[in-house]
Structure 1
Amino acid sequence: MAYYTSRTGAESLTTVDVSPFITKAEYSDSDRLKAAKALVEGLHRLGFVKVKGHGIGKGEVQDALAWTRKLFDLPYADKMKAPHPPEAMPHRGYSGIGKEKVYSQEDVKAQGDNADVAEQLRKVSDFKESYEIGSEEDPVQQNIWIPDPVLSNFRTYMTALYQRLFGISEILLEVISLGLGLVGNEHATLIDLADDRHCQLRLLHYPAVSKDRLQKDLIARLPPHRDWGTFTLLFQDGGGGLELKDPQSEDYIHAEPEEGTFVLNIGDMLQRFTNDYFVSSLHRVSVPGADTAPESGLPARYSIPFFVCPDFSHKIATLPRFITTESPAKYDPVRFDEYGAVVSKYQYQEEES
């Protein structure tokens, strides 16, 4: 049951069917072009859409969420057999409740000359735990796995899921390229914004919150932030809570769970690549006020984002076609790892909170 059933803004998320790119024999080139343009228009308008017809079946999503629950149901001591390092890199393994603090660059700027930005940002705890997984071939960040005797076949399943989601991501880049009308080197440059060795699969658990705690504590599940990769695929359970900010009205729109869809949202690299034709929009997992929450409190929530990223050493530059007299260049070229180092600077601390 979702506890967030109405949106706050005047807009709603576009749902785009990409079936013409999955079961190609059943569709024509004109069907594919129509779907591609619909995806690009939806992403241009809000920075995020819902995607259906992606080829990932209901059973696959349920299996992935079931594995996620199995992981987080483990005793804390077992989860800590694959601990996230105390620093931001490598971004792998298990992070306990309160260890990570997600924020936006606006949050950092708002602190001004504050000597301890991290301490200020952590005044409201992020009430969640997570587990980070990358490619087994990543030369920069090696995976930190729960031992197989603790959770048998977890590594095998998640490694296969990573590859499955990367395959879908490659298709989505092809769809975006067609919708934008990219050809030749322009197309190749867009495709370079995804590298199968440098993406990230994240498993998230937001524990249940009692109404009493909602009344007494300042608590956040996931504050407003932007993703700093190319784009993100997000699968969520039926509980709801995901909200995305309309860049025009600045209202937050509830992304109600919809069976057979995932949310696709633009990241910073695709925003820079398109000179703001696509915008990396703020999004959050909200916590309702105690006065509107059910007497039973908030149930646990599970979600699975897959962050599509370029190679760490890849330099992202704006595609020249997006630079005009009316829309001059807004971004200098930047290496992905250097950009990420700045964004993730304050996110981790050694002690649990």
Structure 2
Amino acid sequence: MTESLSRIPTIDLRPWLDGGEEIRAALARTVDQALQTAGFLLVTGHGVESGLRAGIRRAAREFFLLPDEVKRRYEAKVGGRGWLGPGAEANGYAEGTHTPPDLKESLTFATDEPFADPVVDAQWYAPNVWPAEVPQLRTLCTEYLAKMAALEKELLSLLGYALGLERDFFTRHMDHPTYGFNINWYPGTEVVGEPLPGQFRIGPHTDFGTVTVLDRQAGKGGLQVYTDERGWADAPYDPAALTVNIGDLLARWTGDRWRSGRHRVLPPPADAPAEELMSLVYFGECTPGTRVESVPAPVGRVAYPPVDSHVYLRAKLDSITVE
């Protein structure tokens, strides 16, 4: 197995919440440096119980093991709510890497509160679709998503501070955010077949929004992160930690001071073809209509033209959809 990246630090959020200014400043420096290199962090002290995460995995696995004809009742398009079956996405398309479709299935959810604007609702709101066959999934995910929303705001507050800006620099744009939440199932070759040349569980890409919060499992066919100095290497793993990475929108917002972490999930390995993994992936976004303008120098390094956050996100989602 490839040596894991040592440039991705583990940070404990508890000193950020409870520590003094000197401790917070040291934490902010660590965060700033890490996000300039790999765009990834491991985060402990997040307050999300391991039992809740395990419960979601058990319930989701019950769903994924159902016959396809049952799962198809919940079929959705990329960016929608429901089941994304095999072949629905090719994440490498977003960066121009034309891989075969990703070797995964997903249950996908998003904001469950409508907006005041019917035009926004038409693009970004629909009721979540909860499989009747696993009724416990709704209760578990609702609790998990409330914790993710609170954690996302703490992380963005820390990130504003790490840039030397107001702590609400990002969070003020989070009054009514959209978000994405995917439960990604990566079964073995007995389900997906032998990988095609250049095929991955998730192809190489960067995420699209602000921050991504990932609860992952370690495996030979697991997460890899790309850096300029090392190329591809296995992401470090700590079962107590959540993996956090920067998305394209936030990288643009910081004027490329922080990089959007490029990553991929390897295919089922030849020496462990039955390996099965599951990831819980929360994609942070902001309130629709947010104007994202690059932070000026000396903090920012590139001045991108301003964009509407959700025009930008929609184009990204469309780019990975397999027609």
Q: TM-score range by the shorter chain?
A: 0.7 to 0.9
Q: Pick from 185, 196, 205: which aligns with 2:185? A: 205
CA drift of 1:95 comes to 0.6
Match of 2:120 in 1: none
- Find out whether 1:99 has 2:88 as its counterpart: yes
Once the two structures are superposed, residues 195-230 of structure 1 have per-residue CA deviations (whole angstroms, 9 ceiling, x without a partner) of: 554011110001112599548766321110011101
Match of 1:50 in 2: 42
* Structure 2: runs of 5 or more not aligned: 116-123
Give the Cα–Cα distance (whole angstroms) in 1 for the partners of residues 76 and 68 of structure 2. Answer: 13
Given residue 62 of structure 1, which amino acid in structure 2 is its aligned partner? A
Q: Pick from 5, 17, 20: which aligns with 2:12? A: 17
Match of 1:335 in 2: 308
Gap change, CA 1:316 and 1:39, over 3 Å in 2: same
Q: Pick from 255, 277, 284: which aligns with 1:308? A: 284
Match of 1:68 in 2: 60
Give the Cα–Cα distance (whole angstroms) in 1 for the partners of residues 268 and 250 of structure 2. Answer: 31
Given residue 318 of structure 1, which amino acid in structure 2 is its aligned partner? S
Gap change, CA 1:104 and 1:44, over 3 Å in 2: farther
- Find out whether 1:6 has 2:26 as its counterpart: no
Give the Cα–Cα distance (whole angstroms) in 2 for the partners of residues 218 and 41 of structure 1. Answer: 32
| Paired residues of 2:178 and 2:285 also in contact (CA < 8 A) | yes
* Structure 1: runs of 5 or more not aligned: 109-120
CA drift of 1:278 comes to 0.4
Given residue 224 of structure 2, which amino acid in structure 1 is its aligned partner? E
Q: Pick from 100, 114, 126: which aligns with 1:142? A: 126
Give the Cα–Cα distance (whole angstroms) in 1 for the partners of residues 61 and 190 of structure 2. Answer: 19
- Find out whether 1:133 has 2:105 as its counterpart: no
The farther-off stretch of 341-350 and 174-183 is 341-350
Match of 2:137 in 1: 154
| Paired residues of 1:138 and 1:198 also in contact (CA < 8 A) | no
Instruction: Indicate the SS of the match to 2:91.
Output: coil
Give the % identical residues: 24
CA drift of 1:5 comes to 5.5
The farther-off stretch of 48-57 and 193-202 is 193-202
Match of 1:111 in 2: none
| Paired residues of 2:7 and 2:37 also in contact (CA < 8 A) | no
| Paired residues of 2:113 and 2:125 also in contact (CA < 8 A) | no
Give the Cα–Cα distance (whole angstroms) in 2 for the partners of residues 288 and 153 of structure 1. Answer: 29
Give the Cα–Cα distance (whole angstroms) in 2 for the partners of residues 174 and 287 of structure 1. Answer: 35
CA drift of 1:333 comes to 0.3
Instruction: Indicate the SS of the match to 1:265.
Output: strand
Give the Cα–Cα distance (whole angstroms) in 1 for the partners of residues 175 and 67 of structure 2. Answer: 34
CA drift of 1:315 comes to 1.3
- Find out whether 1:232 has 2:221 as its counterpart: no
Indicate the structure (1 or 2) with the bigger Cα radius of gyration: 1
Match of 2:294 in 1: 318
- Find out whether 1:270 has 2:250 as its counterpart: yes
Once the two structures are superposed, residues 211-267 of structure 1 have per-residue CA deviations (whole angstroms, 9 ceiling, x without a partner) of: 995487663211100111011011112325101111x32511211431111111111
Match of 1:279 in 2: 259
CA RMSD in angstroms comes to 2.6
| Paired residues of 1:130 and 1:203 also in contact (CA < 8 A) | yes
CA drift of 1:275 comes to 0.7
Gap change, CA 1:82 and 1:210, over 3 Å in 2: closer
Q: Pick from 164, 186, 189: which aligns with 1:181? A: 164
List structure 1 runs of 4+ shifted beyond 4 angstroms: 210-213, 215-218, 321-324
Instruction: Indicate the SS of the match to 2:278.
Output: strand
Give the Cα–Cα distance (whole angstroms) in 2 for the partners of residues 78 and 215 of structure 1. Answer: 25
Give the Cα–Cα distance (whole angstroms) in 2 for the partners of residues 52 and 221 of structure 1. Answer: 26
Match of 2:234 in 1: 254
